Structure 1
């Protein structure tokens, strides 16, 4: 029998450690409980908010007026297919534990995604990526509960609408699907990916092992406070707070003119547009590492991360993020968009 917890604190469930309570909270450790919780909320005309690891989430100080469904489904299975192995992980599996599992078995395809916090179920929603790899490179299926039909469905990659840190689940049909499990096709004995210059340089050898690349990625992420570490003063963050903007040729020319000859990092995209570094834009707009406004500020190691300190509130995070965004827009005429999602009566607009 479903037993929702009333007025449940949510701050302990997110990496910023801020935000108000949920009107109701249910933790689901099996698919039947997920379905029951959705039906329970529908019968009471309550909104449903799916909670994973809370590492990409900003919760309003007033909390969430609805049902928060915490995903606790666990389990990993694998099967051999011609030339590959298909590995299915339940949505509640901790992502980095799962990546370590694949690396230890010599399955290439996820090694550059090491050290990323959160759960497996979030990876297709955000199309999680780092250092040249994205989950859409290897994902073959998403098992999900379709809230419109009430049925469990399997979506192929073509159904998922993947883009840069984007997907069907995030932007075109937000809230419709609750991810239950994700399947990835990996390469047994495959070579690690070394397409990102910083990682290739740091790893120090032309033919590194998968574990060596994983260790290098984690070391680089740790140097930027981009791994969860309770002893790190920058730990209370969402990681990268802003997406790297992707601009067309006309916008790029205007930005270059505003940059006044400064060497600006850029990455050409398949559609002819160019991806820019949000961190570079933030720094050149006059913001520096460790810069703070009260109990909220930028990480001392990375200008792309907004960090909470004692006494911080969600409204403080939003106000500081607006200030950073406005500074970049004034300097470069580029509007940065947030990477985390916002719950409750809170946004940057």
Structure 2
């Protein structure tokens, strides 16, 4: 059993650098150790927070009154034939390092997800996506520990309930602990069809065309750097949780209501008549520009969707106050309620 520490401050384990102490803290260095630690805490009735890379997390200033289990289980296995490869990575693997390996090996399907901070274990929970790709397109299975049954099992992609930035894991956050994830990729030096206009322009290709994997990775990293979305200790804009709000998906009726308030609003038509609206546009046009400050926190100077802790000295309370101001301002002007993307621990928006 892993050693336990007491009163470990959680801020340094998150990209926002926010959060008070954990009453108890343990490091899980293997899949078996992760199951053992969580199972024992559950038997003892102890609250548990499973912590990965902390890139999509906002922890309260009071911290967590229970056991924080930090996932650091390594390991990658590769199998496959006939032009396909299945890459199974343990939950504690660094996500971008895995993407870099896939690109270097000529395994196509996750190259547009370059530069996203965090660990493999978080990718199915959020259905991590960017630049026209998301992990639900390649995940074939997720190995989990089911805290309700006390058993380890392998879930199919269909059982994961993937949706836009959502999954069955996010809907029922206390039930499953992700242990490993399998991705089925194509053996190819070319990317999947480029599905995002900004990326296509950066690559100099048409939408739907394919491009060399390395070129796609570098273009994505460059685009993300320009938005402060690649972790850099010298860039205060990267002290964030990435996109703080998801892009709203409106029903046809809701979209018609928004059109009355903003006739020229940008939109992406979705199946079933729904419409996706860029949250960044809503935020900026509600009066919250890049660099908008409130005390020690601010909107990123590079991307309106990121709320940042530029000095590293802000509090979670200050960050949530700014988030509420932005959310309420957008709702007042456009009648659209923004939903936070990061997971909240001990606080709510």
Distance in 2 separating the partners of 1:88 and 1:309? 36
Distance in 1 separating the partners of 2:272 and 2:57? 30
Counterpart position of 1:7: 7
Distance in 1 separating the partners of 2:44 and 2:9? 21
Alignment deviations for residues 311-349 of structure 1 (CA, whole Å, 9 cap, x no partner): 3100001110000000000000000000001112x111x
Alignment deviations for residues 187-227 of structure 1 (CA, whole Å, 9 cap, x no partner): 00163131111101101256531000000000000000011
Structure 1, unpaired ranges of 5+: none
Q: Secondary structure at the match of 1:81?
A: coil
Matches of residues 30-109 of structure 1 in structure 2 within 5 Å?
A: 30-109=30-109
Stretches (4+) displaced over 2 A:
204-208
Matches of residues 325-340 of structure 1 in structure 2 within 5 Å?
A: 325-340=327-342
**Closer, same or farther in 2 for the Cα pair 1:298/1:185, shift >3 Å?**
same
Distance in 1 separating the partners of 2:32 and 2:181? 17
Higher mean displacement: 302-311 or 94-103: 302-311
Counterpart position of 1:217: 220
Say if 1:2 and 1:36, in contact at 8 Å, map to a contact too. Answer: no
Q: Secondary structure at the match of 2:217?
A: helix
Q: Secondary structure at the match of 2:88?
A: strand
Distance in 1 separating the partners of 2:230 and 2:203? 18
TM-score by length of 1: 0.96
Counterpart position of 1:319: 321
Q: 2:245 aligns with which of 220, 234, 242?
A: 242
Matches of residues 276-295 of structure 1 in structure 2 within 5 Å?
A: 276-295=277-296
Say if 1:29 and 1:74, in contact at 8 Å, map to a contact too. Answer: yes
Distance in 2 separating the partners of 1:178 and 1:272? 35
Say if 2:236 and 2:309, in contact at 8 Å, map to a contact too. Answer: no
Counterpart position of 1:170: 170
Q: Note the aligned Cα RMSD (angstroms).
A: 1.2
Distance in 1 separating the partners of 2:153 and 2:44? 25
Counterpart position of 1:347: 348
Distance in 2 separating the partners of 1:153 and 1:177? 10
Distance in 2 separating the partners of 1:42 and 1:304? 36
Q: Secondary structure at the match of 1:214?
A: helix
Counterpart position of 2:126: 126
Counterpart position of 2:259: 256
Alignment deviations for residues 136-176 of structure 1 (CA, whole Å, 9 cap, x no partner): 000000011111121110000110000000000001x2121
1:151 aligns with 2:119: no
Structure 2, unpaired ranges of 5+: none
Distance in 1 separating the partners of 2:140 and 2:2? 33
TM-score by length of 2: 0.96
